[in-house]
């Protein structure tokens, strides 16, 4: 199978950590054809990020949001403030967490750990839709 690539548009979400594993997998029917490969997921934005973390307990999402807000608070004396008080902290958070994740694919499935899932970390209060590019290589 040749490399497969698709851009997925995610609906706008409120600020926080949102599990998107199912949306990513649903958008890639070619995944079922791959016995050994890698799925690379990249977000085309600088105020949101992607991460892999626990997918079972919703308290993890709350704690991740509280922790990242403590690391990059809105009341820090940022210079870049033209786009609102949540914008520059969003850029910092995005840089810390990253703009992509890579996941091994085994026998047509993402080879995530039992309790792992792909998260969109939305760092803006009033976000727009987000575009992610998925690239499947076998």
pTM (2 decimals)? 0.95
- Please give the pLDDT value at position 126: 92
Helix, strand, or coil (residue 40):
strand
Residue 102 CA to residue 112 CA, distance in Å, equals 10
| CA separation for the pair 5, 138 (Å, rounded) | 12
Those residues of the chain that have pLDDT short of 70 are: 1-2
> Nearest-CA neighbor of 12 among 3, 4, 21, 20?
20
55-65 b/e with 16+ CB inside 10 Å = b? beeeebbeebb
Helices (H), the chain: 21-26, 59-71, 87-97
Say what the pLDDT of residue 22 is. 97
Burial of 44 (0-12, 13-18, 19+ CB in 10 A): exposed
Q: Which domains does the chain have, with CATH numbers?
A: 4-137 (2.60.120.460)
Q: For residue 1, what pLDDT is reported?
A: 60
The residue whose two tokens read 């995530």 is: 112
Residue for token pair 């786009």 = 83
In this prediction, residue 2 carries a pLDDT of: 65
């Amino acid at each position: 199978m040749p490399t497969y690539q698709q851009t997925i548009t995610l609906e706008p979400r409120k600020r926080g950590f949102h599990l998107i594993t199912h949306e990513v997998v649903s958008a890639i029917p070619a995944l079922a054809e791959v016995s050994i490969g890698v799925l690379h997921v990249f977000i085309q934005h600088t105020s949101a990020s992607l991460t892999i973390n626990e997918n079972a307990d919703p308290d993890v999402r709350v704690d991740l949001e509280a922790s990242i807000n403590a690391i990059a608070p809105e009341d820090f004396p940022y210079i870049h403030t033209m786009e609102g008080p949540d914008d520059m902290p969003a850029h910092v958070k995005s840089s810390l967490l990253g703009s992509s994740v890579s996941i091994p694919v085994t026998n047509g499935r993402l080879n995530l750990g039992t309790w792992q899932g792909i998260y969109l970390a939305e760092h803006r209060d009033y976000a727009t839709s987000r575009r992610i590019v998925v690239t499947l290589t076998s």
